[in-house]
Amino acid sequence: MPTDPSPVNGFGFNLIHQRNKLSSRISTAAWTWDWSRMLAQSCSGLLSSGVLEHLPIHFDVDKNGNGSVLVGSTPYPLQGLNKSDHFQCSGMYGEDESVTKCSVQLPLRPTLLTSELTPADCGSEGPLGLASLVYGLSASHFTGGGPTSKRDQVAPMNSAPAILASKQRRQGACGTWSSNTVKFEDGHPHQQPVHKQLSENLDCGDGTCSAEYLHVESFTIGFTATGSAQGWIDAGFAVEKSVETGTSQSCDAKEGKRVCVWKKVHRTAYAVQNMRLNQCTGAEPVGGSFTMVSPNKNQPGTNFYCVGDEFCREIGAQYEEEAVLGAP
């Protein structure tokens, strides 16, 4: 059997169970340990095909991911103290959805893992939002927070290059030159949400606990840019220079679990260009185009959600989703 990066004997799998609370649609999938291949999927809580044909897995959980998982004939409760070395689960839930992720060791032959599955369409709503956070945090693609990510901080912009540092310069009879930042072409807008942990971690110990008693901090999510802009512009999109995350959220957890509060902030990424202008010669570009990312004006829903166990990092930690084409 090939060496597996998991801590115990057996072949490692990642299991993802998603529930859309608005449509009641469910999706469950099994992935390789390194997330490189999907090996089984269904539009219910049961995985019983492909590599799992002879060892079915059934998620029997409620809308917030509470319940148990049945592996073959062995049940694993998701509440209480889970001390199993070969079965560990974490999850998160919000107003509209919930996601449960389990890492499990199964006694399957590697020869059964040669096929790759084509993802099934479990609904017209598209992928659920929290799943991208689960995949991202599982792969450790997140940004730490800590003391530098405190309230009212806006991500700093780089200073303008020397050619744009002076707001004015003389060019003979043509008078004053000025510099500004404008939209590049149509802006090529994309949606790029960011997820941020707002609270400290709370370990429940041997009793039920609630994150409403935690220190929950409000953060300012400001605009960022990949280049040196003359200043912030909305480029004609429904975006703002910055938004406050707020602090209103309560999360409950069971014994032996860890809980924390996160929030999703929707943002738009758009292309901009620095220009210099003269009353005689008109405008001319300075350098190439670059990307500006700003929070959307209309944030849908509350976007707070409750996160458990391995997905709780540290207050101020954040994760950026990959950009998807579209305006706010």
| Helix residue ranges, H only, 158-224 | 162-165
pLDDT number for residue 181: 94
Looking at the DSSP assignment, which residues form a beta bridge with residue 25? Answer: 20
Lowest mean pLDDT among 6-15, 43-52, 90-99, 273-282: 6-15
Instruction: Decide if 165 is inside a domain.
Output: no
Both tokens of 47, joined, read 């995985």
**What digits encode the pLDDT tens for the residues 65-104?**
888 999 888 888 886 545 556 788 888 998 888 999 998 8
**What digits encode the pLDDT tens for the residues 223-281?**
999 999 999 999 999 999 999 998 777 787 777 788 889 999 999 999 999 999 887 77
Lowest mean pLDDT among 58-62, 135-139, 189-193, 246-250: 135-139
The closest alpha carbon to 145, from 319, 321, 323, belongs to 319
Instruction: Decide if 118 is inside a domain.
Output: no
Q: Which residue has the higher pLDDT, 170 or 46?
A: 46
Q: Say yes or no: 253 and 204 in one domain.
A: yes
> Given the structure tokens 């079915």, which residue do they identify?
56
pLDDT number for residue 155: 35
Rg (CA), the chain: 24
Instruction: Decide if 112 is inside a domain.
Output: no
Q: Say yes or no: 155 and 205 in one domain.
A: yes
> What residue type is assigned to position 35 of the chain?
W
Is-contact 10 113, C-beta < 8 A?
Answer: no
Q: Say yes or no: 72 and 179 in one domain.
A: no
Is-contact 316 200, C-beta < 8 A?
Answer: no
DSSP string for residues in 20-37: ETTTTEEEEEEEETTS--
Q: Compute the average pLDDT of residues 48-63.
A: 88
Q: Annotate 80-116 with b (16+ C-beta within 10 A) or e (fewer).
A: eebeeebbbbbbbbbebbbbbbbbbbbebeeebbeee
Q: Say yes or no: 69 and 186 in one domain.
A: no
pLDDT number for residue 232: 96
Separation of alpha carbons 306 and 200, rounded Å:
12
Separation of alpha carbons 291 and 325, rounded Å:
14
Instruction: Decide if 250 is inside a domain.
Output: yes
In degrees rounded to 5, what are phi and psi of residue 110? Answer: -60, -25
Domain boundaries, position 21: 11-106+125-138
Q: Say how many domains are in the chain.
A: 2
Q: Say yes or no: 183 and 303 in one domain.
A: yes
Separation of alpha carbons 61 and 177, rounded Å:
65
Q: Which residue has the higher pLDDT, 13 or 221?
A: 221
Q: Taking the CB of residue 235, how many other CB atoms lie within 10 A of it? A: 19
**What digits encode the pLDDT tens for the residues 107-146?**
776 555 555 666 677 764 444 567 777 877 776 544 544 3
Q: Taking the CB of residue 304, how many other CB atoms lie within 10 A of it? A: 20
Decide: residue 2, CB within 10 A, 0-12 exposed, 13-18 middle, 19+ buried.
exposed
- pLDDT bucket at 154, cuts 50 / 70 / 90: very low
pLDDT number for residue 167: 41
Q: Compute the average pLDDT of residues 173-193.
A: 88
Instruction: Decide if 279 is inside a domain.
Output: yes
> Given the structure tokens 């409760």, which residue do they identify?
77
Instruction: Decide if 75 is inside a domain.
Output: yes
pLDDT number for residue 88: 85
Q: Say yes or no: 232 and 251 in one domain.
A: yes
The closest alpha carbon to 296, from 235, 248, 253, belongs to 235
The closest alpha carbon to 28, from 125, 77, 111, 98, belongs to 98
> What residue type is assigned to position 304 of the chain?
F
Confidence check: pLDDT of 153 > 50: no
Q: Say yes or no: 151 and 287 in one domain.
A: yes
